[in-house]
Structure 1
Amino acid sequence: MTNALLADWTTPFGLPPFDRIADEDFDPAFEAALTDARARIARIATNPEPPTFGNTIEALELADRQLSKVMSAFYVLASTSSNDAREALQRSFSPRLAVYSSEITANRPLFQRIEALWEAREDMDLTVEQARVLMLTHRGFVRSGARLEGKAADRLKSVKERLAVLGTQFTQNLLADERDWSMPLSEDDLAPLPDFLVSAARSAGDETGKRTAVVTLSRSLIVPFLQFSPNRTLREKAWRAWTGRGANGGPTDNRTIAAEILALRDERARLLGYDSFAAYKLETEMAGTPERVRDLLMEVWTHARASADRDGARLTEMLHADGIAGPLEPWDWRYYSEKRRATEHDLNEAELKPYLQLDRMIEAAFAVAHRLFGIEAMPIDVALHHPDARAWEITRDGRHLAVFIGDYFARGSKRSGAWCSALRSQSRTDEEVAPVVINVCNFVKPAEGRPALLSYDDARTLFHEFGHALHQMLSDVTYESISGTSVARDFVELPSQLYEHWLEVPDVLAEFATHAETGEPMPEALLRKVLATATYDMGFQTVEYIGSALVDLDFHAGPAPADPMQRQAEVLDALGMPHAIPMRHATPHFAHVFSGDGYSSGYYSYMWSEVMDADAFEAFLEAGDPFDPEIAERLEAHILSAGGSSDAADLYIAFRGRMPGPEALLRGRGLTG
């Protein structure tokens, strides 16, 4: 039978034919696509014609299109619907892809062609985009070791291959720990919990094949359990399981893997002539140096720690008033914070949640994009990677822009967290290519026939990921390598975090926050309370985030620690981390940093981007309209459609006229008092 992955895809919009793809198709398709890519690279490198932008740089842009086509379909399945076969394939593919990547950057004739073009760039009639792509291509080869020779080049190749293996292993270990743990709840345990949480726990029990309600390690389930369960023993058990992922001993323990990853990254940086991996990694980011990152984080830390200390003292009083001696513990914070919010602000998650239906929040995200950018979203019936996923065609003025896929519910086979990726990125190098973009979340799946209800944090996550999707779907560049989210890591979170602000626009909540049973809009009094408490507990949220960001930075800014767990403890101790607030992602489950190089030495980037997103939204507020058409047009022109076609700072200045300081961020987080 024909391998569906290698055949022409005649599906609507050229989507992967998921209903015809079998796991056994992937390895032969991968090998065929890899062979094709190698042949194309060889033809570029040995082309007897003098190098030109077209026969070298543009040809490189297209060389592995078939491989990308196969692997994009695979990664969606491997990350959202994992099984033993797909995990084995991932372990096989990762080192082979690393070898292929090293072959390209070590290809001397190929690099000589790129070097010749780089030297002649001033004499070439290049467009702005072409000049940018040439610079990025040349820089990428140099930073990948193209100038290394002999033993150094061989060692770098081995390091990259081993890092690919370890990143995959780290991810799969974490998935196994999350999949294998659940805590049964008795009827007595369920009795004091709000109805939405009881329903979610029963649904999770059904999903995991249990005969009782359970708490799993899905964030959308375990966080509300920590907020609402009065059973301190169960809260501690759940919290320890959640924060102990990747550190349970046995074959899924990630601690030695993390140590080896850090050592290899340090070696990689030094082979390339850098003092540290952080210096290497941050060279191409907006921040530039570890020192600038630390300065920003510590400036915000001072305000956040003071706020968290004040809140912690109040929560400790509540703990003691309940007759519990001793300090406030990490498994107590969310429980007493929720009680405090209900008492002092007359607001709790159980009251709010019925107004945050998943379907209505999806509609809200689409409606905001329509008002800002004029796009329309129409549901389409196509074969997708999982029955829970759904798809929409995105158009503007009747013209097809993209396909958007949403996969929102948690399941044991899905990687935790939330993310946006592209099955196909926008480009027009040789033809017009429209993007196919997917948002993946891990919200609790409701019982059959019941609406899916979100926490406010869930709703913010939905808006965040759709902001990333807009960055992909509104991309309007020629070359895929600078398309969509192909930007500096500390710039990529700007569109996503900026989009979160529209969830708090009163008109949006008034229209789309409707009660799941009555259909009535959120009462004005409740709406006011929601908006008034938007920065509630922000000290806690900021402290747990900065703790993780500073540990990540420290791991990579000097010699690799022999014992990352000991070094993590030393960093947090020196920082004065509050006892009751752990870092958001402890090392053994810090997937941002250890599943790949994406956010390594770069977890700070959320806050770096937030400096800009807070300032960017103030542009709308200064105009007196969160949907001001002129500012929305500038936002699309200079940020969302531009991809990586210019330096990130230049793009932001083109939009706003200047670079911002952290003042808007501190105001937005309520940390200026």
Structure 2
Amino acid sequence: MVFNTKAFDPVTNVPDYNITIDEINLKVSELIEKGKSVHDQVASIPIQDVTFDNVIVPLATYENESMVDYSTITFLQHVSPDKSLRDASMEAEKKLEDFQIDCQMRRDVYKVVEALFLNKKSWENRCHEDKRLLDKMELSFRRNGLDLSDDDLEKLMSVKKKLSELSITFGRNIAEGDAQVTFTLEDLDGLPEDFINSKKKVKCGDEDKYIVTTKYPDLFAVLRMAKRESTRKTLLLAEETRCKENIEILTEACILRLRAAKFENILQSLLEPLAEKEIDSLIQLKKDGKFLISSSENLYSWDSKYYLRILKENLFNIDDEEVKQYFSISQVTAGLLETFENMLGLTFTQIDNSNGWHKDATLYSVTDTETKDFVGHFWMDLHPREGKYNHAACWSLRPGYTKSDGSREYPISGIVANFSEPTENKPSLLKHDEVVTFFHEFGHVMHGICSKTKWSRMHGTSVETDFVEAPSQMLENWCWEPEVLQKFGKHYLTGEPIPEQLVAQLVKTKNLGAGLGNLRQIFFGMFDMGIHNVENEDIDVNETFSSLRKQICKIDSGNEKTWPAATFGHMMGGYDSGYYGYMWSDVFSADMFYSRFKKQGLFNKKSGMDYRNEILAPGGSRDAMDSLVAFLGREPEMGPFLRSIGMK
């Protein structure tokens, strides 16, 4: 496919996120008015006159052009520092999602699309992506129940709108429902000085206490480092007992999904013996008096990270606090960008831009290193703040597509993360697992930026559910390669490179806890299926979560009453009935890494460009299996995945 790459100003090609509530509401009205006009126009076409150009092109063009404004105004609910703007953005998304459901369930539009679909001669000479687009549109209408009776269709539409509303509210509750606990300095024994110094201090009677939140930088630090079991337990219970209102929302959503529509067993059996050995090792550590500031010798969910850290220190002489001194966020960012510039033949340039949603949001332009052609933009917003999305994720802020004049609309992606904030004395220092998270999310960015499709519906991560995570999981592997870590791992004070011996020991820890970690992923997949693959509406989300966690993960919260499913955002964020895809994606990503990059070289130019052209560029314009075969030269195999977790 040839794209018109006529010159334009990259800076002015970026949406302005400094918008008002009135502007948000106006954009919503304009999007709905324009969309209704397009769908009315298509529905009015006589059946005998339908063509690809007068049916599919107008619908797909509206999708293309509306996505910029849609993404801009709905994204603000996750990142804006202004609560009123976040509220307006959420309400805007509800209205737009309702309208989209109305459009997807218009019988008059479907009749026209169906007539075209059945008249194969009129479109059999179109390009592959055009034909795939028509297939996807027709299938989407059918899956939305357009062959149902009018009464049943109306009921289904009501269900879908309610599900959309529940999903938006669920995510907002998680973002704004952070819990916080006050601890004494003694309670925080084991936490490093920079952690303590970053916490707000309050007076409780005559003593000073420190405010610790359930945001990930705080939660994970306490679970790994706090010596007192009571401290770890208190904070984890605060995390697992927040957003209680979401349990009712998730339960209602499961019931609604049941009304709308009703590999991992083998892998579980392989992992269980490994996990049992890991649990035995952790229990022995807990029983050892020198590590015990505890009320029980049983192993609970608030113990696993703490004793895994100690096990890592004992077995490999690795101290996370020592390691992070070499991973300041500026060094990691520079190293990450250099790594994938070399791998993918791209050049990343930070741009001074005032159109962002917050001072922490930085903007980069992407160009092809060889041709100098512009490729796209991405944002990075890496530190926590009140009301912000509190995990790590990547958003497609604008999918790329070909405009009607042949020029290209260039993609924009955005990383949102919650890495530790800098203090007065230290920059933001990342633990190694945070470095892995950073690389993972950047994998999604590259999928969005490098994708080149004709239609926005096919762009980037618009692939099969069990392939969405593969490109991001694949990039995690570079975080375990000494030659990569030693390029950007430099002590934040001295600039000295991370010692070879330290890197060697760090790499050895890659599969520590692999049994428990992968069983946890299987548990999430089984929980997902457990609350959706049922015969009636008597769904107990909490009981399903608790029983499966105990059965599969082998570690739970004992007799404590918690509701951690309330903050399991994937169940209301598009992975419902599809969380198993994380494990399948791991199989694909491991095969891609070991079969090409590990074998041919981490920065082998042919492997890098093949990956860019065969995996990233096609997006969803062809089946993921076709992309994998094109890159691997064969269908994917399980062996590399088992090797990657130390089981082969």
Q: Tell me the TM-score normalized by structure 1.
A: 0.88
2:38 maps to 40
Identity among equivalent positions (%) equals: 25
Structure 1 position 92, deviation (Å): 3.1
- Name the residue aligned to 2:119: 120
CA contact (8 A) 1:357 1:453 kept: yes
Tell me the equivalent position of 2:3: none
Who is 2:541 aligned against?
Answer: 564
**Is the aligned partner of 1:222 residue 2:219?**
yes
Paired with 1:609 and 1:527, the residues of 2 have a C-alpha distance of 27
3-state SS, counterpart of residue 378 of structure 2: strand
Q: Any conservation in 1 of the 2:214–2:239 contact (CA below 8 Å)?
A: yes
Query: Structure 1: any 5+ residue segments left out of the alignment?
Result: 1-8, 206-210, 248-252, 270-275, 277-295
Between the aligned partners of 2:64 and 2:593, the Cα distance in structure 1 is 37
Q: Are residues 540 and 82 of structure 1, via their aligned partners in 2, closer, same or farther at CA, if it must alter by over 3 Å?
A: farther
Q: Distance in 2 between matches of 1:576 and 1:368?
A: 35
Residue matched to 1:273: none
Q: Tell whether the 8 Å contact from 1:11 to 1:17 is kept in structure 2 after alignment.
A: no
Give 1:43-192 correspondences, 5 Å limit.
Answer: 43-47=41-45, 50-65=49-64, 67-81=66-80, 83-90=82-89, 92-124=91-123, 125-178=125-178, 181-190=179-188, 192=190
Structure 1 residue 448: deviation in Å?
4.2
Deviates more, 1:88-97 or 1:522-531: 88-97
Distance in 1 of aligned mates of 2:120 and 2:611: 31
Query: What residue in structure 2 maps to residue 357 of structure 1?
Result: 328
Range with greater deviation from structure 2 (68-77 or 532-541): 68-77
Question: 1:336-356: per-residue Cα shift (whole Å, max 9, x none)?
Answer: 221221122100211111111
Residue 130 (structure 1) shift:
0.9
C-alpha distance in 2 between matches for 1:586 and 1:546: 16
Q: Which moved more, 1:311-320 or 1:515-524?
A: 311-320
CA distance in structure 2 between the aligned counterparts of 1:570 and 1:187, rounded to whole angstroms: 36
The secondary structure found in structure 1 opposite 2:186 is helix
1:172 deviates by 2.1
Tell me which moved more, 402-411 or 75-84.
Answer: 75-84
Cα displacement string for residues 638-672 of structure 1 (whole angstroms, at most 9, x for unaligned residues) = 11001111111111111112222332212211244
Correspondence 1:553-632 to 2 at 5 A:
553-559=529-535, 560-575=537-552, 577-579=554-556, 586-594=564-572, 596=573, 598-621=574-597, 623-632=599-608
> Quick one: which of 223, 228, 232 aligns to 1:231?
228
SS of 1:443's partner is coil
Return the match for 1:407 from 381, 404, 408: 381
- Name the SS of the counterpart of 1:188 in structure 2: coil
Sort the Cα spacing of 1:622 and 1:379 in 2 relative to 1 into closer, same or farther, 3 A: closer
Q: CA deviation at 1:450?
A: 3.0
Contact 2:241–2:563 (Cα < 8 Å) also in 1: no
92 and 141 in structure 1: CA distance in 2 versus 1, 3 angstrom threshold = same
1:368 aligns with 2:307: no
Which of 312, 315, 338 is matched with 1:344 structurally?
315
CA deviations 1:468-522 (Å, max 9, x no partner) are 1111111112111101111111111111011111122221111101111111100
Q: What is residue 331 of structure 1 aligned with on the other side? A: 302
Preserved contact between residue 592 and residue 599 of structure 1 (Cα < 8 Å): yes
CA displacement at 1:377 relative to structure 2: 0.7
Q: Offset of 1:84 from its aligned partner?
A: 4.0
Please point out which of 196, 199, 202 is paired with 1:198.
196
The DSSP-based 3-state class of the residue aligned with 1:377 is strand
Whole-angstrom distance in 2 between the partners of 1:132 and 1:200: 52
Distance 1:603 1:562 in 2: 18
Q: Which amino acid aligns with 1:402?
A: G
- Alpha-carbon offset, residue 447 of structure 1: 1.6
Deviation at 1:547, TM superposition (A): 1.1
| 1:439 aligned counterpart, secondary structure | strand
- Give 5+ residue unaligned stretches, structure 2: 1-7, 203-207
- After TM superposition, list the pairs within 5 Å mapping 1:262-277 onto structure 2: 262-269=254-261, 276=262
Match for 2:352: what amino acid?
D
Cα deviation for residue 567 of structure 1 reads: 2.6
Farther-moved stretch of structure 1 (81-90 vs 99-108): 81-90
Cα offset, 1:82, TM superposition:
5.8
Deviation at 1:309, TM superposition (A): 1.6
Q: CA deviation at 1:75?
A: 2.4
Query: What is the aligned counterpart of 2:494 among 518, 525, 550?
Result: 518
The 8 Å contact of residues 250 and 541 in structure 2, kept in 1 or not, is answered as yes
Partner SS for 1:442: coil
For residues 359 and 576 of structure 1, do their structure 2 counterparts lie closer, same or farther at Cα, with a shift above 3 Å needed? closer
Hey, what does 2:205 align to over in structure 1?
none
Deviates more, 1:259-268 or 1:121-130: 121-130
- Tell me the C-alpha RMSD between the 2 structures: 2.4
Letter of the structure 1 residue corresponding to residue 504 of structure 2: R
Once the two structures are TM-superposed, the CA of residue 152 in structure 1 deviates from its matched residue by: 0.6
2:191 alignment partner AA:
L
Say if 1:100 and 1:263 are closer, same or farther in 2 by CA, change over 3 A: same
Change (3 A) 1:580 1:58: same
Q: Which amino acid aligns with 1:454?
A: L
- 1:193 CA displacement: 2.0
35-44 or 45-54, which deviates more: 45-54
Aligned to 1:300: 267
- Give the conservation status (yes or no) of the 8 Å contact 1:200–1:221: no
Check 1:585–1:55 CA distance in 2 against 1; reply closer, same or farther (3 A cut).
Answer: farther
| CA distance in 2: counterparts of 1:199 and 1:668, whole angstroms | 38
In structure 2, the residue matched to 1:385 is: 357
Rounded to whole Å, the distance in 2 between the matches of 1:299 and 1:12 is 51
Amino acid across the alignment from 1:185? F
Contact 1:105 1:145 in 2 (8 A): no
Which residue number in structure 1 is paired with residue 422 of structure 2? 446
Secondary structure of 1:126's counterpart equals coil
Change (3 A) 1:521 1:553: same
What is the distance in 1 between the residues matched to 2:33 and 2:41? 12
Where does residue 427 of structure 1 map in the other structure?
A: 401
CA contact (8 A) 1:509 1:527 kept: yes
Q: Is this contact kept in 2: 1:418–1:441, CA < 8 A?
A: yes
Q: 1:26 aligns with which of 24, 27, 50?
A: 24
Give, in angstroms, the shift of residue 574 of structure 1: 4.8
Instruction: For residue 47 of structure 1, report the CA deviation from its aligned partner.
Output: 3.6
Q: Indicate how the Cα distance of structure 1 residues 330 and 511 shifts in structure 2: closer, same or farther if over 3 A, else same.
A: same
